[in-house]
Structure 1
Amino acid sequence: MKQLTLVCVLATLISVPAMAFEHFISRDGHQLKDGEQVFRFAGVHAPELHRIEDDARGTCKEDPRGWGQYFKWPTADEQDNWIQSLVLTGHKAMRVYVLSVATPYDQACERETHILPPLEQGGMPRLNETAMVHYDRMIALSHQHGLRLILPFIDHWQWWGGREQLAAFYGEHEDDFYDSNSKTFAAYLNIIEQVINRTNTYTGRQYKDEKAIMAWESGNELKMSTEAFVRQTAAHIKSLAPNQLVMDGTYLKINEFSKTDPNVDIISNHFYTVNNNNSPQEVRDNLKAIDGKKVYFVGEFGLEPAAFLDSVMQAAVHEEYNGAQAAGTFIWGFRGRRHNGGFYWHREYTGNYSYHLPGFPENDANEELAVVDLVRKAMAQMDGDESMAPLPAPQPPTLRVIETPNNIRWLGAPVARWYRFERATKPIGPWQVIGEGISDGRNRFDPASDVLFADPHARQSGQTYYYRVIAFNESGNSAPSNVEQYLEP
């Protein structure tokens, strides 16, 4: 079944027109442009389109850092579902998380990373081909469904492995990452070159020729960036990928030199209350500091009540300084559906949980519906509308092979909110409704122990039963899913 699904996704990708996007996203002063049209966007930040932190498994005890998680690669179905969930709820662009860097604890914690240590002492790091194929597919599916990507390189932090782990390859200190004369910095530039020149195994195009890639970001929350670091990094990226944009990934400040550097297109910032900068005023202050010289982007903000988040989001939509406005903004953060049902989830140190699209009432304690709706309202406002468009009716969900009717598993449709389950004794019916108003959206779902739906009706020994599922939202219903059978022993 998994092999067949992957073949279907590959076949779909191969059938996509060679260039679904007509233009690269370009910069015109303080604005982004798609051709001649101004390009603005809002959304719920989706960091894990290419690598998953599986919180349901808990913390890996073999990681001495004390918080190391279990990670895994997404399936083709999962990536397709997540990207469609974004696009069908109105997302036009998305920033993902960084390329992960190897740690000594990865094997014990059953995880792989994007960047591997050099084979020889002092050599250059290597890209993990297994990892990069998933990255390839993310880009290809984004191209197919119409999602622009912002791709950061290396993290300031250790979460996925960042500057400290890269520096460890060369016996250097983590701060040497920012030293343009260090071995770590040379390795960082080499990683950038390897990535930008990589040929996508799905599209056949080099990354620098992928119109789905809107911008390359120097890294995530690089709060110790120096002028030499930013200028050399930006020049290196622009020399390799002149048709794609460059974002300064500096954190908590606006670099004066980035405002004048010809190779920097976008200046970003992240707002969090722990840094005393999570407010509508920060949008105003940043716009004033940049003074229209470059594009401004609020890469992340969040971890506060919905009403507060709305005040920041509305500032990002409406505030301007000498005619310049924020080009985009993302609320942290989104997790998508699992291959066999339910959602991935993540709990932050504040107690906030990740959001699921298109939003579910059972997550009211996390204000999920309110947050998703304020984001979708902002999307509409950036396009000149005052109210968000209705969701499209959902596509058919995918019913998985039924090992037991006491635990029926399915991959939900991208914008579905609830489901109807039906059963028959013949593959063409007649169909009996056995479950109505079933949701797959609740937080903290654990596939090892939790059941989303069980057939509540009696079954006769020796009888084959046929099952299908239909997705619903406020706009309508899907066609029925595939049919799966189960022989009652």
Structure 2
Amino acid sequence: MVQTGAKAQRVYVLSVQQEFDKACGRETHILAPETADGMPRLNEKAMRVYDNMIAEADKQGLRLILPFIDHWWWWGGREQLAAFYHEKAEDFYRTDSKTFKAYLDVIRQVITRTNTVTGRAYYDEKAIMAWETGNELEDTNADFLHQTAAWIKKWAPHQLVVDGTYKKINSFALTDPNVDIVSNHYYTNADNNHPGQVTQDLRAVGGQKVYLVGEFGLLPADQLNAIMQSIVHSEVNGAQAAGGLIWGFRGHRHDGGFYWHKESTGHYSYHLPGFAKEGEANQEQAVVDLVRTAAAQMAGQQTMAPLPKPEAPLLRETTSPFAINWMGAAVGRSYDVERAASPTGPWTVVGRDISDGVNEWNPETMVLFRDDYRQLQLGHTYYYRVTAKNESGRSAPSNVISVQHSEENQPPVVTLEPALTTTQDQGVELTASWQDDGLPSREVKVGWQHAGDG
């Protein structure tokens, strides 16, 4: 993200355990207490991923805004936290509830956690710019915010606090000494997804706090650009927005392609550095470019800088030359695949301009590259490497992997319905199926034998 001009990013909330997790194979961040009146527990496996994210952000110079709990249920939020104590979702905002007590303890556990990668406590992580009370906590009241913000500052006195409310600017947040940033989210269902909301909110803030547009989106690119330019240029009595973040971005999968999400509006997650063809219906390239342009403008530049050359992708081990995948480079637009008979070459390009930006990528059924069966000899070992490309140049080659070609096309297993006897030459339907062996160049030939008079 830093390579496209980003300086800070907001991450989605910590997830809370719920009944769907096992079926999804999902590791949630916050687990149920071990006893009825106990406090929630952090899931070590999920938090180690969080550790890595923070460590990598620090390495890249990216600053993070980290919200705690979601107002909504789908990721596991206040409703699921309340269910641990047989309370209702609205009890989350009651400061005398068990749910609120648990929420505060989650905050303590997270902020005081020692990062397993860096060895530092989270409250000492420079990459963590701000803690946000939560995501779209639209029922935030003065007592809830006052206690929460003070609690965060107690454990993280050198990091900032964001009032994670929604649809409004809370007047009590503007006078709370422990709140550093106020934010709003712009969406059509909130009737605020327009450029004028920036000025309206800046007037409400009155320069008393830093103002951030934490999310906006789910609009055509031209309307998103109008809002973004308002964020960049609007000013009320000398006060301007600190920035704005478009919903939403998802990164590369480890084993190829990108993570993705599709909203009810039909909009997909955006992927960097933007894919004009694969993301055409999503106007992906236009949206990525308008964000990059705004980031450049806020840094005092007129236009966005050229992308750097990509870093080398990471080629994954495989047992088949027909299932070659790699973790893409951060700003790679396409990839070339090379094959050799030895690990040092000479190398032959066997795949050109391969994109990993396809939406709805499914690593269980899709592969980035299948070699040509006709060019391979059974029993031979082949070596592969991949290079990333964009308009600024090529990356260094990836790591090299070796694959022995030991797969033969297997005869299909054909199953027909029970034999039929008929005096008709037409109108009889027979169905057949075959077991796909996963190799390319599948071909099915059908032959009929006519027996009888005539």
Measured against the shorter chain, the TM-score band is: 0.7 to 0.9
Once the two structures are superposed, the pairs formed by residues 54-453 of structure 1 within 5 Å of their partners are 86-362=1-277, 363-453=279-369
- C-alpha separation in 2, matches of 1:466 and 1:113: 38
Aligned Cα RMSD in Å?
1.2
Higher relative contact order (CA 8 A, sep 6+): 1
Paired AA for residue 9 in structure 2: M
* Residues 391-444 of structure 1: CA deviation (Å, up to 9, x unaligned): 000111111123222221111111110111111222222211111111111111
- C-alpha separation in 2, matches of 1:404 and 1:368: 33
TM-score, length-scaled by structure 2: 0.87
- C-alpha separation in 1, matches of 2:350 and 2:52: 37
- C-alpha separation in 1, matches of 2:303 and 2:3: 16
- Check 1:282–1:479 CA distance in 2 against 1; reply closer, same or farther (3 A cut): same
Q: SS at the partner of 2:56? A: helix
Whether 1:481 aligns to 2:431 is: no
Shift of 1:487: 2.1
User: 5+ residue gaps in structure 2?
Assistant: 407-454
- C-alpha separation in 2, matches of 1:273 and 1:335: 22
Further displaced range: 226-235 or 195-204: 195-204
Among 376, 382, 393, which residue is 1:459 paired with? 376
Shift of 1:294: 0.1
Contact 2:215 2:247 in 1 (8 A): yes
Q: SS at the partner of 1:327? A: coil
* Residues 92-142 of structure 1: CA deviation (Å, up to 9, x unaligned): 111111111111332343222111122222222111222211111111111
Aligned pairs, number: 404
User: 5+ residue gaps in structure 1?
Assistant: 1-85
1:4 aligned partner: none
Shift of 1:239: 1.6
Paired AA for residue 480 in structure 1: P
TM-score, length-scaled by structure 1: 0.81
- C-alpha separation in 2, matches of 1:149 and 1:224: 24
Q: SS at the partner of 2:129? A: strand
- C-alpha separation in 2, matches of 1:136 and 1:427: 35
2:451 aligned partner: none
Contact 2:256 2:367 in 1 (8 A): no
Paired AA for residue 314 in structure 1: Q
2:445 aligned partner: none
- C-alpha separation in 1, matches of 2:317 and 2:396: 19
* Residues 343-376 of structure 1: CA deviation (Å, up to 9, x unaligned): 1111001000001100112211110100000000
Q: Choose 1 or 2 for highest CA Rg.
A: 2
Shift of 1:263: 0.6
Q: SS at the partner of 1:313? A: helix
- C-alpha separation in 1, matches of 2:24 and 2:322: 31
Further displaced range: 215-224 or 133-142: 133-142
- C-alpha separation in 2, matches of 1:485 and 1:200: 35
- C-alpha separation in 1, matches of 2:64 and 2:107: 16
Q: SS at the partner of 2:50? A: helix
Paired AA for residue 364 in structure 2: A
- C-alpha separation in 2, matches of 1:129 and 1:449: 30
- C-alpha separation in 1, matches of 2:25 and 2:349: 41
Identity, in percent, stands at 63
Paired AA for residue 94 in structure 1: Q
Contact 2:321 2:405 in 1 (8 A): no
Contact 2:319 2:404 in 1 (8 A): no
- C-alpha separation in 1, matches of 2:35 and 2:318: 49
Paired AA for residue 128 in structure 1: N
* Shift >6 Å, 4+ stretches: none
Shift of 1:248: 0.3
- C-alpha separation in 2, matches of 1:128 and 1:444: 28
